[in-house]
């Protein structure tokens, strides 16, 4: 299993009010294929995560591209902190 180390990569974090369309564009170029939805970029308080599968299911269920990514994010996600950095 390859473990990718995320330092201070802004390409993985999106604000909760980002549109689904904009999130799709960011995901297309992200090497991690998952976005972390946060309150603000300074504190990075985690709200949820979004993958391309989440977006596909949301569109099938009637969400529009201009809806906010917070509405479709997976809220029960978790993260691991590296305390040695």
7-37 pLDDT tens trace: 555 678 999 999 999 999 999 988 888 999 9
pTM for the predicted model, two decimal places: 0.79
Sign of the dihedral defined by the CA atoms of residues 55, 37, 72, 54, in that order: positive
3-state secondary structure of 50: strand
What is the pLDDT at residue 63? 98
- Range scoring the smallest mean pLDDT among 27-31, 45-49, 72-76: 27-31
Higher pLDDT, 33 or 83: 33
In the chain, which residue ranges form alpha helices assigned H by DSSP?
Answer: 20-29, 52-60
């Amino acid at each position: 299993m390859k473990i990718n180390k995320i330092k201070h990569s802004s390409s993985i974090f999106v604000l909760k009010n980002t549109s689904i369309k904009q999130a799709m564009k960011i995901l297309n170029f992200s090497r991690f294929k998952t976005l972390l939805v946060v309150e603000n970029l300074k504190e990075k308080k985690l709200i949820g995560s979004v993958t391309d599968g989440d977006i596909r299911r949301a569109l099938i269920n009637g969400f529009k591209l201009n809806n906010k990514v917070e509405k479709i994010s997976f809220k029960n996600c978790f993260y691991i902190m590296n305390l040695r950095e």
